[in-house]
Structure 1
Amino acid sequence: MVCLGNICRSPTAEGVLRARLQQAGLDERARVDSAATGNSHLGHPPDERAIACAARHGIDISAQRARRLALEDFDEFDVILCADRTILHDARIRKPRTAHAQVELLLDWGGLGKKDVPDPYTGSSRDFEHAFKLIDAAASGIVERVRQGRF
C-alpha cells in the first residue's frame, strides 16, 4: 500500500486489509505493508485523524511508522497498490526493470474502478472517514482476490 507520506491513506489501507484478511482467515496467505513515495514523514506514526478513524472501526494502526518505498519492495511483494494516479506513476517509474511486482491503483485492483483515494491530509475527519470507506470497500475485493488466488 503506497501513498505520498505513509501517514494517512497507506497506513489505513495496511491496517484495514490486514484486519479483513484476518477476519476471513486468510492472513497467512498475504503479507501487507505500507510505504511512501515522499520522505517528509519518515519514521512518524500515522496522522492522529487516521488513527482515530481506524480506531472507530476497530482497527489499531497506531504502531505503524512511515517508511519510504524501497527498490527491494518491488521484488518482495507481488502487488504494490497505490492510493492515486500520481503515486502510481511515481511507483512505476521507480520499479526496477527486472522486478516482478504488479504496480496498480488500490481501488481498481479492489474492484472499484480506476479511481483515486482522495488524500484527506488537508481535510477534516469527514475526509478521513470517506477515504476509510473507499479503502474498506477495496479491501473486500482484495480479500476475494486472495481467496481465489488471483494476485
Structure 2
Amino acid sequence: MTDRYRLIFVCMGNICRSPTADGVMRHKVASRNWQDWIEVDSAGTHAYHVGEAPDPRSQQHARQRGYDLSMLRARQLETEDFERADLVLVMDWDNLALAEDMCPASQRHKLKRLTEFCLQHDCPVVPDPYYGGVQGFEQVLDLVEDACEGLLVHIAGLPKKQALR
C-alpha cells in the first residue's frame, strides 16, 4: 500500500518518448504541487540504452518547451513495475504487446496506451521520432502534453481511495 499514485511511461529504449512523457508529467505534477500525490517514472521494453541520458534531440525539444529531461536515465521495464505502478502507459502497439507479454494477468488492467488519455489529438500511438527529423520530436511533445493533461484529469477524477492506494 502506498499513498502515491504511480505512473510508468514505456517506450522501446527509454531515451525518446517515455523520458519525454516522464519529464512533461513531472513538470505538470509540480506545477499543480501534486508531487506528494503522483509519482512518475519511465522505462524501456528493451535494454539498448540502460543508464544513458535521454536522446539529445529529445532533451533539446523538451527544453525549448520548458521541460528538463537531463536528470533521467534509461532503464528496462521489469515485471515488478506492474505490481508497483497504478498505470503503465506505453507509447505504441509494439511496446504494448511486449509489455503485455511480461505483465502478470492480475495486473493487465493497469496497462494502457498513453494516447488513450489525449483530450485534443486523435492518434492511436506516440510515433517513434528516433530515425526522423525535427517534426517527429515536436509531434511527440504535442501528443505527450495533450495525453498528460488528460491523464491528470483522469487521476483527479478518481475516487480518493482509488487514486491514493
Shorter-chain TM-score bucket reads over 0.9
Secondary structure at 2:130 match in 1: coil
Q: Structure 2 counterpart of 1:129, which letter?
A: E
Q: Give 1:138's aligned residue.
A: 147
What is the TM-score with the length of structure 1 in the denominator?
Answer: 0.93
**Alpha-carbon distance, 1:149 to partner:** 2.1
1:69 aligns with 2:91: no
Quick one: structure 1 residues 114 and 49, their matched pair in 2 at CA, closer, same or farther if it must change by over 3 Å?
A: closer
**Alpha-carbon distance, 1:21 to partner:** 1.5
Give the Cα separation in 2 of the matches to 1:90 and 1:7.
17
Root mean square deviation, CA, Å: 1.7
Aligned pair partner of 1:127 in 136, 139, 163: 136
Mapping of residues 2-151 of structure 1, within 5 Å? 2-99=10-107, 102-111=110-119, 112=121, 115-149=124-158
Where in structure 2 are there 5+ consecutive unaligned residues?
1-8
Q: 48-57 or 104-113, which moves further after superposition?
A: 104-113
Quick one: structure 1 residues 101 and 76, their matched pair in 2 at CA, closer, same or farther if it must change by over 3 Å?
A: farther
Count of residue pairs brought into register by the alignment: 151
Q: Structure 2 counterpart of 1:125, which letter?
A: V
Secondary structure at 1:80 match in 2: strand
Give the Cα separation in 2 of the matches to 1:136 and 1:68.
23
Q: Percent identity?
A: 35
Give the Cα separation in 2 of the matches to 1:142 and 1:99.
19
Where in structure 1 are there 5+ consecutive unaligned residues?
none
Quick one: structure 1 residues 41 and 125, their matched pair in 2 at CA, closer, same or farther if it must change by over 3 Å?
A: same
Give the Cα separation in 2 of the matches to 1:29 and 1:101.
21
Q: Give 2:6's aligned residue.
A: none
**Alpha-carbon distance, 1:148 to partner:** 1.5
Q: 100-109 or 47-56, which moves further after superposition?
A: 100-109
